[in-house]
Structure 1
Amino acid sequence: MKSIKIKIIILFMLCSVGLLTSCKKWLDVKPKTAVKSDDLFSTEFGFVDALTGVYVKMGAQTLYAKNLSYGFIDVLGQRYDKPTYNTAAWYNYKNNEVPSSAQSTVGGIYSNMYNIIANINNLLAAVEEHPDVLTTPKYHNLIKGEAIGLRAFLHFELLKMYGPVYVKTPNGLSIPYRNTNATVATSLLPASKIMDNVIVDLLEAERLLKDSDPKNFAQTGTDPFLYLRQFRMNVYAVKALLARAYLYRSADGLHADDKSQAMVRANDVINSTYFNFTVNNADNKILFSEHILTLNVAKMTDLVFPDFGSSLALTNLYLSSSLLNTIYEKNSGGATDFRGGDNAFVTGSDVKVTTKYTWGLSAGPHKESVPLVRLPEMYYILAECDPDPVRSASYLNTVRNNRNISQSFNLVPGTNWDSIESNGQTRRTNEIMKEYQKEFYGEGQLFYYYKRKNYSTFLNCPVLGGMTDLQYVFPVPDDEITYGKK
C-alpha cells in the first residue's frame, strides 16, 4: 500500500497520467503567444497544474532527462570513450557554425528552455491577475516563490551555456532575461546583468518561500503539493542556488561580499539537517537523501535504456577501465571510493557503464530521479570560498570521508592552498575539480566547472591548441534570435 501511495503522489505531482486538458494546452503554448488562462486559472488546482507542467517540461530528454544531465553536456565534459561520441567536431567548429550533429541539440535546449520561461512568466502574471483564486493559506507565496526561483534557475543554466567565460568577459553579451510575459523582443544583456537578475529573482524567491514553504521532505502528508518538496523549488533549493550564483558572480571581482554570501547560503542548507550524506550506494545509487532539488522523470529507466541498459558491447555511453581509474584516482587513495565502485558502474571486459539511472524499479520516489542540486556541492562551494586553507580542505575531506575515502588532505596552517600548478590552475581549484569529476558523473556539472574556471585543457580534452571562448560558448541559434535582439 505504501508503494502504491508513493506512486500516486509522484504521478499527481508530475502530471504523468490523467493530465488535464488545460495542462496539456499549457505545455503546448509558444513563447511568443499569450495563454488563454480564464479556465486554467479559475481554480487553485489550475495554478498547481500549470506549475507542475513546468517541471514536466524540464524533465524532457531534450533537457534534464538526458541532454543536460548525462547526455550532451557530459559528452562535452569528455565523460565517455565511445568513438561515436567523439566531440572533436564540436570543439573545432569555426565561425559559430555548430556541427550538424549538434545543431538540433543546441537549438532545442535554447528554444525549449525559453518556452518554459514564457510559461512561468504567464503563470506569474496570472497569480497577480487572479489573487482571489489562491485561498489555501500560503499558496500564493508558495506558487509565486517556486515560479520565480525556477525562472532564475533556467536563466542561470542558459547563461552557463550561451554566455561568455565569465571570469574573462563578465560584460560580454549573452542572452535575454525574460521576466515578463510581454511578447516584444528582449535585448541580449551582458552576462553580469544576467547574474544580477538571477540573484534578484532568487532573493525574492527566498523571501516568498521563507514562511510559505512547509519544508516537508518526507513521503507523507495530506496535500501532495506540500510534501516531497525536493521535487519542487523549495526554499533550500533557492538558498543552494544563491550559493551557486554568488560564487559564479564573484569571478568579476566587483562584488566583495559575494563569496561570504555564498558561504552563508551553503551553510544554511547544510545546517538545516534536511539533507544528509548517503552512507553507501548499494541500495540507492542516486543518493536521494542528498537531493536538494531533483526532477522525477516518469519511466526514466526505459528512457535511458538505449544509452546504458542494452548490452555493454552496444551501449552508447561507456568509458574504459583506464578512464574510470583515472577519474576516481584508484591508484592513489581512491580505491575504496564507492562512487567509482561496482555499485556505481556495471563492468564487463574493458567497458564500464554508470548505473545511476538504470538500477531498477524498487519502491520509492528516488527510483527515477534526476538531481539538479545535491548536498556535496554546498561543501565544494565552502571549500572554494573559505580563505583559510585548513578549513577549505576540511570541507573536501567531509565529502571524501562520506564516500569511504580514508585519505584526507592534511593541510597545516600557512599551507599555500592557492599555489599555481603546472596547468595554470591553483591546487585548490584542481582538487575541487577532481571532486566534480567523481561526484557528478552523469549529472552534467563538470563542463560548467571547466568553463567557470577557464581551464585551457582538461582530462581527454580534444583541443590541441587549448580551449578558447569558441569552444566554451554555445552560439545562440539563428532560428531562435526572435527571442532576443542584438
Structure 2
Amino acid sequence: MKKIRNLLVLSCVLLGLSGCSDWLTIQPETQITEEDMFKTQGGFYDALTGCYVLMRNNYSPDGVMVLGATEYMANLWYTNVQSGTSYEYVIHNYRADLVDKTLSQLFLNQYEIIANTNNLLEHIDAQDNVLSSGERDLYKGEVLGLRAFIHFDLIRLWGPMPTQVNENYLYLPYALTVQLENHPYSNYRNYMTQLCADLDSAELLLQRVDPAVAGNAYQSTYGSYRKNRMNYYAVLGLQARVHLWLGEREEALRYARLVRDAVNESGSKVFSLGTQSDLNRYDRVLYSSEQLFGVSLEEFADNLVADGNTPSFSQTTARLTDLFPSRDIRSQLWYAARGDNRSPNKYGNMASYDTETPAPNFSVPLIRLSEMYLIIAECADLTEANTAYTEFLAARGLETTELTEANREGILQLEYLKEFYGEGQMFYVYKRLGTVTMRWSERANGVDDYVLPLPSRELSTTEN
C-alpha cells in the first residue's frame, strides 16, 4: 500500500511530537511546552490561531494557491517566452525542477496544517473542563471544517478529475491522527466520505454555538473575526463546493441556498452581493459584504502584487478588454496598463506602503457569496437559475443574459473566470468540468494536465 513517507512524517516530528510546541505560537518569544499550552482556554485559542497562521504560507496573495502556481496552471497569466518556471506551469510540466520543489513544499505545508488540526482535536477531546461546552463545540467545529478544507484542496490538485475516478486507485491519505507511522493512502470514495463526515460534524457543532449564527447565546472571544475563521456559513459554503465537485447537484444547490438566504436576528441578510459602493470604500475583495471565509493577513511580500509593475502576474490589455465588458465593475480591479499588459489590483491596497487608499480589512477571500450564486445558477432549474444570475449580474453593473440549457455551462464557466480571477479557483473549475481547451491556451488539456503527480520526494517504491 502506498503511504506518505518523508513529508508527513517530517511534519509530525516537527509539529506534533516534539517536546516544544513553538509551532503553535504566534510570536517566537512565547514558546511554551505543549503540556502547559493546553491547560488554559487561551492555550487552545492560540493553538487554533496557529493553524490559521500556517495557512498564510500558501494562501497569501503572492502564494501558490492564490496568484501563484494555480493561476498559471489555469493559463491566466501572460508569458511571452517559452521557458522558465512560469512557462513550465503553463504547459503543466510538473516534473520541472523548481515546479516540483514548489509543489513539494505546498504538499508539505498542507499536511503540516492538517497535523496541527489533528493535534488540536486530540487535545480538545482529552481536555477535562478546561473548555466550556460551548468553547469545546466551537473549537472542534472549526478544526473539523478546517481539516476538511485543506484535505479538499489537496484532492482537487493531486486527486482525479471528478468524471474520471479510478475506484481502486489510492490517491492520497486522509490524515486523522498525529503519528510517526506512515499514513495509508485512501481510494477516492473513502477519502471523500471522510471529508464529508468532517463537514457534517462541523456543521452540526457550529450551528449550535457559532456566534455568527442569529440566536446563538454563546459568545466567543473571536468577536468580529468570524469571517477569517472556519465559521458556520463557511462550512455551508464549503459543503456546496464539495457536493458540486462530487456531482451531487441537489445537495450543492441546497447548501448554496442556505448561505444566500441566511438572515440576522433583525431579518436582514447575513451576506449580500458586493457592488460599486464596496469598491468605492476600497474593499476590492468584497470582504464586508461577501466573504464567508478567508485568511487574515498581517504582512506578505507586497512588492509582488502591490504596484502593478510586476511582470510575474499580468495579462494583456487586449485579452482583458475582450473578457470584461466596459460596464463590469470587476474591470476596475486591474492596474493601469504597464506597457501592453495589466496587473491585478485586488490586493494592491493591502500593501504596507498604501496609506492613501488602504483596504478596510486585510484578508484573502477563500469562499465568497458570489460562488453560491453561481452554484445556484448552475444547478437550479432555469427559472431559479436566471433569477439568481440576473441578481448577480446587476451587482456587477451588467444587464441580464438569459441562461438556457444549451448555453448555461459555457456562460457560467466564463463567469467563474471573471469573478475569481486572481483568487486561485479557475484551475479547479476547468478540472471539474473537464475543459479540453482553457481560455487563451493553444493546446488541448487532459488528465496529465489536471492531475498533479505526487512530489518526487514523496513517491513510494511500492506500486499502487
User: TM-score, normalized by length of structure 2?
Assistant: 0.83
1:63/1:156 CA distance change after superposition, 3 Å: farther
Q: Is the 8 A contact 2:211 2:220 kept in 1?
A: no
The separation in 2 between residues aligned to 1:315 and 1:87, in whole angstroms, is 11
TM alignment of 1:334-483, pairs within 5 A: 334-341=325-332, 343-359=333-349, 360-361=354-355, 366-386=360-380, 388-406=381-399, 408-410=400-402, 417-419=404-406, 427-463=407-443, 466-481=444-459
The separation in 1 between residues aligned to 2:386 and 2:355, in whole angstroms, is 38
1:87/1:167 CA distance change after superposition, 3 Å: farther
Q: Is the 8 A contact 1:164 1:173 kept in 2?
A: no
1:78-130 Cα deviation digits (max 9, x unpaired): 11114367755346567xx6111311211011011001101100100001111
Q: Does 1:239 align with 2:217?
A: no
Q: Is the 8 A contact 2:88 2:99 kept in 1?
A: no
1:148 is matched with: 144
The separation in 2 between residues aligned to 1:259 and 1:365, in whole angstroms, is 36
> Which of 157, 177, 200 matches 1:161?
157
1:139 is matched with: 135
The separation in 2 between residues aligned to 1:196 and 1:81, in whole angstroms, is 38
TM alignment of 1:221-236, pairs within 5 A: 224-236=221-233
The separation in 1 between residues aligned to 2:308 and 2:390, in whole angstroms, is 36
Q: Is the 8 A contact 1:81 1:317 kept in 2?
A: yes
Give 1:63 shift. Answer: 6.5
Q: Is the 8 A contact 1:106 1:477 kept in 2?
A: yes
Q: Is the 8 A contact 1:22 1:39 kept in 2?
A: no
1:311/1:138 CA distance change after superposition, 3 Å: closer
1:24 is matched with: 22
The separation in 2 between residues aligned to 1:369 and 1:125, in whole angstroms, is 29
Give 1:316 shift. Answer: 2.3
Q: Is the 8 A contact 2:308 2:344 kept in 1?
A: no
Q: Is the 8 A contact 1:185 1:485 kept in 2?
A: no
The separation in 1 between residues aligned to 2:431 and 2:355, in whole angstroms, is 36
1:275 is matched with: 271
Aligned-residue CA RMSD in angstroms? 2.8
The separation in 2 between residues aligned to 1:363 and 1:319, in whole angstroms, is 24
Give 1:311 shift. Answer: 5.9
For 1:295, the aligned partner's letter is: V
Give 1:364 shift. Answer: 8.3
1:195-241 Cα deviation digits (max 9, x unpaired): 21111110000011111100079xxx996424321010000000010
Unaligned runs of 5+ in 1: 1-20, 29-34, 251-257, 329-333, 412-416, 420-426
TM alignment of 1:47-446, pairs within 5 A: 47-61=44-58, 66-83=63-80, 88-90=87-89, 92=91, 98-135=95-132, 138-169=134-165, 171=167, 172-215=169-212, 224-250=221-247, 258-272=248-262, 273-280=269-276, 281-282=279-280, 283-288=282-287, 289-300=289-300, 303-305=301-303, 307-310=304-307, 312=309, 314-328=310-324, 334-341=325-332, 343-359=333-349, 360-361=354-355, 366-386=360-380, 388-406=381-399, 408-410=400-402, 417-419=404-406, 427-446=407-426
The separation in 1 between residues aligned to 2:358 and 2:296, in whole angstroms, is 11
The separation in 2 between residues aligned to 1:79 and 1:114, in whole angstroms, is 27
The separation in 2 between residues aligned to 1:317 and 1:160, in whole angstroms, is 23
1:423 is matched with: none
The separation in 2 between residues aligned to 1:237 and 1:371, in whole angstroms, is 11
Q: Is the 8 A contact 1:145 1:208 kept in 2?
A: yes
The separation in 2 between residues aligned to 1:485 and 1:62, in whole angstroms, is 33
1:179/1:364 CA distance change after superposition, 3 Å: farther
1:167/1:379 CA distance change after superposition, 3 Å: same
Q: Is the 8 A contact 2:148 2:198 kept in 1?
A: yes
1:54-87 Cα deviation digits (max 9, x unpaired): 0001012576752101111111111111436775
Q: Secondary structure at the match of 1:367?
A: coil
Give 1:182 shift. Answer: 3.3
Unaligned runs of 5+ in 2: 1-18, 27-31, 263-268
The separation in 2 between residues aligned to 1:74 and 1:405, in whole angstroms, is 25
The separation in 1 between residues aligned to 2:172 and 2:382, in whole angstroms, is 36
The separation in 2 between residues aligned to 1:365 and 1:225, in whole angstroms, is 21
Q: Is the 8 A contact 1:379 1:396 kept in 2?
A: yes
1:170/1:339 CA distance change after superposition, 3 Å: farther
For 2:450, the aligned partner's letter is: Y
Range 281-290 or range 346-355, more displaced: 346-355
Overall identity of the aligned pairs, in %:
28
1:485/1:290 CA distance change after superposition, 3 Å: farther
1:276-312 Cα deviation digits (max 9, x unpaired): 1222123211111210001111124xx232x233563
Give 1:37 shift. Answer: 2.6
1:10 is matched with: none
The separation in 2 between residues aligned to 1:126 and 1:351, in whole angstroms, is 51
Give 1:261 shift. Answer: 1.6
Q: Is the 8 A contact 1:62 1:109 kept in 2?
A: no
The separation in 2 between residues aligned to 1:150 and 1:450, in whole angstroms, is 24
The separation in 2 between residues aligned to 1:195 and 1:374, in whole angstroms, is 22
